[in-house]
């Protein structure tokens, strides 16, 4: 055996690339290999049954709950303590309610230290707390060593946590060194004050994820008065099937504000644009901003929000504005009253020259032409990701400008770091003079998405794109090119999306790599 395979650090790196069956085999080779293999195997535990079976035999009762068949013996505990206890760094638990009997037995063991002394992260998902037991929330595993705690009970409506004051107090008392606290809870108003008290008691906290309380005023005022190093705040987006209501109220007027909000570098909100606007009344150090509304925002609200961000977030590098209500009702409503985002709505943002990522989702395509894209490209020269509503719910309007493939030329020439382009383009009309250009040497485009862009001549489109894009670019189109955003009924938007256009873009994706490589070879 090579001497390198006797070095613990090297063994750990090698075994970390192996699957569980392989590490189970290497664990019986020799003592040193066993140590590192077991460290890998038991680094993370995501099945509570496997963990509890280390301490005794389990059985299911008629109600579907687990029990230990016998009490935990001293021999079983010593075996667990000597072999497994100190290896576990991550504990992820689902359906903890099924195990409250054995967890209660485990919690009653009197030990000289924590149950899992090297635990660094806990994820605990709760479906209900019918008995409101402490073991339901894994409090016996909470310890000063834990740096990340994730609690999920958002699948239950109403108030699933009966003793939330006690739970929040346990979190702050038992895990005082938390750096990341993620609470995926139902946004019950009575959580707000205990939540603020909890956050204020965690001086090392850097990342916080909380529910979308309809009125976030008291939460944000509390965060503004933090002395901690909190830099990441996320108000998570709820599934419309569970809880469609976003933040609707943020009122910081007249409040005594500290520097807590100014310390944030990452902000994600599930909020109306008008409410989110209230967070930016003064200078912020934010570098990444993500605002998701339930309803599509008006062009006026979009312009006002972007204006305030541009004015008070000079260091911003990434902006994402989108919405979740993708029903036909939204499309019909906007058809009756068109509201289209134009360059004038985006213009305030052109002063943010450090921007590397911009993502906007709208019902109509953005009303932009090639000259507008040229101005955008010249303003955002550091741009890496450009996503401008490639999958609109409405495709035509009388006052709508359109983008041609010439816009790609402007982006290639002025944004040398651009990697991802997602645009709604007019691929039915090909501008002249784009063939034979040497632009592949100045572009690093790896992903090109055309969304619902109409097309009627795939051969001509492939020929033009071969002059603008590198051979290995990944081309996507249709409903899936919008990522997680999916309209309720694409066929109503246009029956061609999943038929004719899908076939044409598939042909483009087939021919483009070959044609682009041929062009490069000819130029050489």
Task: State whether residue 245 is helix, strand or coil.
Answer: coil
Contact between 479 and 487 (Cβ < 8 Å): yes
CA distances from 264 to 220, 270, 315, 359 (A): 12, 17, 12, 20
pLDDT digits (tens, 9 = 90+) for 163-219: 788 889 999 999 999 999 999 888 888 899 999 999 999 999 999 999 998 899 999
Determine the pLDDT at residue 209.
95
pLDDT in tens, the chain (524 residues): 556 566 767 766 777 777 777 766 776 667 777 777 777 888 889 888 889 999 989 988 888 888 999 988 889 999 998 888 899 999 998 877 788 888 888 878 777 788 899 999 999 887 665 544 545 667 889 999 999 999 887 555 555 677 788 889 999 999 999 999 999 888 888 899 999 999 999 999 999 999 998 899 999 998 888 877 899 999 987 654 554 578 888 888 766 677 788 889 999 999 999 999 999 988 889 999 999 999 999 999 999 999 999 999 999 999 999 999 999 999 999 988 888 999 999 999 999 999 999 999 999 999 999 999 999 999 999 999 999 999 999 987 666 889 999 999 899 889 999 999 999 999 998 887 665 555 544 468 899 999 999 999 999 999 889 888 888 899 999 998 877 788 988 999 999 999 999 999 999 999 988 888 887 777 76
Domain edges within the chain: 1-41, 381-524
Is the CA virtual torsion 57, 58, 61, 66 positive or negative? positive
Q: Which residues contact 463 (CB under 8 A, 6 or more apart)?
A: 435, 515
* CA pair distance 100, 49, nearest whole angstrom: 11
Three-class secondary structure assignment of 45-85 = ECCHHHHHHCCCCEEECCCCCEEECCCCCHHHHHHHHHHCC
- Look-up of token digits 């400008």: 401
Q: Which residues contact 508 (CB under 8 A, 6 or more apart)?
A: 455, 458, 461, 462, 465, 475
Determine the pLDDT at residue 468.
85
Q: Per DSSP, what are the bridge partners of residue 381?
A: none
Tell me the residue length of the chain. 524
> Which two structure tokens, joined as six digits, stand for 37?
């293999």
> Which two structure tokens, joined as six digits, stand for 23?
């590490």
Determine the pLDDT at residue 380.
96
Q: Which residues contact 417 (CB under 8 A, 6 or more apart)?
A: 356, 382, 383, 384, 444
* CA pair distance 125, 442, nearest whole angstrom: 48
Q: Which residues contact 53 (CB under 8 A, 6 or more apart)?
A: none
């Amino acid at each position: 055996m090579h001497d390198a395979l006797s070095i613990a650090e090297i063994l750990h790196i090698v075994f970390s690339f192996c699957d569980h069956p392989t590490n189970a085999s290497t664990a019986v080779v020799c003592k040193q290999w066993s140590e590192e293999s077991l460290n890998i195997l038991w680094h993370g535990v995501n099945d509570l049954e496997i963990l509890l079976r280390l301490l005794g035999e389990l059985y299911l009762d008629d109600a579907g709950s687990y029990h230990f068949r016998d009490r935990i013996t001293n021999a079983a505990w010593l075996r667990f303590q000597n072999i497994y206890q100190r290896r576990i760094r991550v504990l992820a638990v689902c359906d903890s309610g099924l195990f409250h009997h054995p967890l209660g037995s485990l919690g009653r063991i009197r030990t000289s230290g924590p149950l899992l002394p090297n635990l660094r992260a806990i994820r605990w998902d709760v479906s209900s707390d019918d008995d409101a037991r402490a073991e339901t929330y894994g409090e016996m595993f909470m310890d000063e060593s834990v740096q990340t705690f994730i609690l999920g009970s958002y699948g239950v409506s109403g108030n699933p946590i009966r003793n939330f004051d006690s739970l929040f107090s346990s979190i702050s008392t038992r895990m005082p060194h938390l750096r990341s606290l993620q609470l995926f809870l139902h946004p019950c108003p009575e959580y707000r004050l205990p939540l603020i008290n909890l956050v204020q008691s965690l001086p090392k906290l850097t990342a916080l994820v909380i529910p979308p309380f309809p009125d976030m005023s008291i939460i944000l005022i509390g965060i503004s008065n933090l002395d901690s190093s909190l830099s990441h705040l996320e108000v998570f987006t709820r599934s419309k099937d569970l809880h469609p209501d976003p933040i609707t109220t943020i009122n910081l007027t007249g409040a005594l504000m500290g520097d807590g909000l100014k310390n944030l570098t990452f902000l994600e909100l599930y909020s109306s644009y008008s409410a989110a606007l209230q967070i930016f009344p003064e200078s912020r150090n934010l570098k990444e901003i993500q605002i998701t509304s339930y309803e599509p925002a008006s062009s006026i609200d979009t312009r006002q929000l972007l204006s305030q961000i541009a004015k008070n977030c000079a260091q911003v590098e990434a902006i994402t504005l989108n919405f979740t209500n993708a029903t036909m009702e939204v499309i019909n409503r906007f058809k009756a009253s068109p509201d289209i985002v134009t360059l004038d709505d985006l213009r305030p943002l052109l002063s943010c020259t450090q921007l590397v990522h911009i993502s906007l989702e709208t019902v109509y395509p953005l009303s932009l032409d090639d000259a507008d894209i040229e101005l955008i490209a010249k303003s955002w020269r550091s741009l890496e990701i450009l996503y401008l509503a490639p999958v609109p719910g409405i495709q035509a309007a009388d006052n709508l400008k359109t983008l041609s493939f010439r816009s790609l030329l402007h982006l290639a020439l002025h944004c040398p770091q651009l990697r991802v382009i997602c645009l709604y383009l007019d691929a039915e009309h090909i501008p002249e003079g784009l063939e034979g250009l040497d632009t592949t040497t100045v572009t690093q485009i790896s992903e090109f998405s055309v969304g619902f862009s109409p097309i009627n001549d795939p051969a001509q489109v492939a020929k033009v794109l071969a002059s603008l894009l590198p051979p290995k670019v990944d081309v996507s189109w249709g409903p899936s090119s919008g990522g997680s955003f999916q309209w309720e009924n694409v066929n109503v938007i246009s029956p061609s999306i999943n038929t004719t256009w899908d076939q044409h873009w598939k042909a483009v994706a087939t021919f483009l790599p070959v044609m682009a490589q041929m062009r490069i070879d000819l130029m050489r």
